[in-house]
Structure 1
Amino acid sequence: MSSLADAAPRPAPPLTGYAFGAAGAVLFASKGIIIKLAYAEGIDPETLLALRMAFSLPFYLVIGGIAIAQMRAKGEALPGLRIVLQSLFVGALGYWFSSYADFLGLAHISASFERLILYTYPLFVVLFGALLFGQPIRMKALWAFAAAYSGLALIFAQNFSANATNTVHGSLWVGAAAITFALYQLMASRLLKSIGSALFTCIAMISASVVSIGQFVVVRPLDALAISPHGLMLAVMIAIGATVLPSFLMNAALKRISAQANSMISTVSPVVTMVLAVLILGESVSGIELAGAAMVLVSIGWFTLSDSRRRAIR
């Protein structure tokens, strides 16, 4: 006769958490590749962003509705108008403007270079946290920032010699995406404490969806939606495969492994993007670009690991 202990469900092995985290990182890494393929189909950034948000919107509407129902069932007070408005603004900043700037940048630079620039956003979180919110800044963050951007400078110089205009425009747009996403992270962290992760994410994504679709209506004719079936499939892949699904996988990973482990797994994202760019897009990678990428990966990976350990012992 089995005991109650034997009958009790066993916790999921950590390997499952690592698998979820790696899968989420790989799917996030695929975003730039899919966007490049969509551009090759003749889809412009505004149309592609609107389609991405429109296809992902139903998921967040359902999840948001479930979150509100659960709060009511527990007798918890719903967030006030002020917090909702702040969440709408922060969502538009992080998921509309940052995404739009990233989409614009990808029209000018390679997918692998774009991913490396975005990968430096944790350093901007530290810098803006110190400048705007009075958070302490440590010397290792400045060293990591210097090393990462030295690596990016190598790649920038390599691309600048081949196509100066595109390199400058693309780097500026993706840099703006990294900066605004860092600001989003700082402002969102304050709202998450009072509104909850699930509901905040849904409000933020709904806000970004409305703005993205509104932008399309203003700047593009409706016949821009008449894209090829393959282009439509790519838009669905960005919405589901590179937006909704990886967000669930990352949350599932965080339930099974530490945030520190999940952060380190995310370092595979730029590497995967570079490999996919070579295999699918036919992008070439020079020795200088590999050296620059290594500097970025090592510096940000080291900073993320050390910062996670420092937070863990608090």
Structure 2
Amino acid sequence: MFRSLFHMRASRPRLAGLMLAVGAALGFSMKAVFVKLAYRYGVDAVTLLMLRMLFALPFFIVIALLEERKASAPVGMRSMLLVLILGLIGYYLSSMLDFAGLQYITAGLERLILFVYPAFVVIFSALFLGKKIGKEEVMALLLCYAGIAIAMYHDVQFSGADTWRGVLLVLAATISYALFLIGSGEMIPKIGARRFTAYAMIVSCLAALIQFVLLRQLTDFQQPLPVYGYGFAMAVFSTVIPAFLLAAAIQRVGAGTASVVGALGPVMTIGLAVLLLGETATWMQMVGALLVIGGVSMLGVRKG
């Protein structure tokens, strides 16, 4: 009896970690849906990204200030320069390419392509860091790309030739994010995860604001009220909150388990797109999603 009670108490942190990981996956999955809903009001990608970053910026400034108060040493100039570069490559460039790609493809296909970033991390780690790719990694990569090909074939049939443009843009966003992750792996041990994330996000937010000022008129800031609502929702529910939920989940169950739970993301996005956007879910999409989830889960278990 006492042993079973102990087991229940010991399993509670793991259950909490799993629920946190599910919450993070749901939050990240909502981003594409918010973007698609905002596009219905005629807003362009540059303006929408600016709104998302504008609403997210105060949160990350507060986090950065709190982390600096706890830090034992300031961030050096070389480290800050690397954070600047990674912030531009990762959150800013990746988000811009992703928002642009969503103008041409469905939310479900976008999430599937973005979800393949661990595969690119494996490939780039082999190319630039000399890490070997094992048989399991090769099988996982083949599953991922087969799943994307099947899901993409469905979109090409129903959305036309512009699907290729959207796929290439989101694929470029995925590659950009994978390069960011490789670089962040070098920086996080030096300055801390929350500190690095806060600074990198501040850089990306400022870059999005500067881009808007350079490319758009101030009158473009005047948008229908729902567009501001979707921008705020993306900032809070698909950026800030999921980031902290994922960090808490990793702390409780580990990165490998959290990444496997994150495999629910594409399925969640497809389901939300069907419910909220009226997109169709076919057997080809589901087969493609299962293949991608299987491949990324293999990589996640391997890393764990």
The TM-score bracket by the shorter chain reads over 0.9
Counterpart of 2:61 in structure 1 is 61
Corresponding residue for 1:121? 117
User: 1:294 aligned to 282, 290, 294, which one?
Assistant: 290
Could you report, residue by residue, the CA deviation over 1:233-259 in whole angstroms, capped at 9, with x for unpaired residues? 111000011000111111122232222
Once the two structures are superposed, the pairs formed by residues 80-229 of structure 1 within 5 Å of their partners are 80-229=76-225
- Corresponding residue SS for 1:255: helix
Partners of 1:109 and 1:121 lie apart in 2 by 18
Q: What CA deviation, in whole Å up to 9, does each residue of 1:194-223 have, x standing for no partner?
A: 111111111100110111011111111111
How far did 1:165 drift? 2.5
The TM-score, its normalising length taken from structure 2, stands at 0.94
Distance in 2 of aligned mates of 1:158 and 1:11: 42
CA shift digits 1:243-287 (9 cap, x unpaired): 001111111222322222211111111110010000110001222
Structure 1 distance, partners of 2:14, 2:154, is 41
Quote the offset at 1:302 in angstroms: 2.1
Q: Equivalent residue for 1:20?
A: 20
Choose 297-306 or 279-288, whichever is displaced more: 297-306
User: What is the percentage of aligned positions where both structures have the same residue?
Assistant: 35
1:306, distance to aligned residue in structure 2 (A):
2.5
Task: State yes or no: 1:281 paired with 2:281.
Answer: no
Write the deviation string for residues 32-74 of structure 1: whole angstroms up to 9, x where unpaired: 0000001011111100101111111111111101111111xxx
Show the counterpart of 1:4: none
Query: How far has the Cα of 1:11 moved from its partner?
Result: 9.9
1:237-248 to 2 correspondences below 5 Å: 237-248=233-244
Which structure has the bigger radius of gyration?
1
- Mapped to 2, the partners of 1:13 and 1:80 lie a distance apart of 37
Structure 2 match to 1:7: none
Give 1:162 shift: 3.2
CA displacement at 1:225 relative to structure 2: 1.0
Does residue 271 in structure 1 map to residue 267 in structure 2?
yes
Consecutive unaligned residues of structure 1, counting only runs of 5 or more, are 1-9, 309-314
Change (3 A) 1:77 1:232: same
1:233 corresponds to: 229
Instruction: Tell me which amino acid in the other structure corresponds to 1:285.
Output: A
Distance 1:220 1:266 in 2: 36
Distance 1:100 1:65 in 2: 27
What is the alpha-carbon distance in structure 1 between the residues aligned to residue 299 and residue 85 of structure 2? 29
Q: Which amino acid aligns with 2:231?
A: A
In structure 2, distance between residues paired with 1:246 and 1:144 = 26
Give the superposed CA RMSD: 1.6
Aligned residues: 296
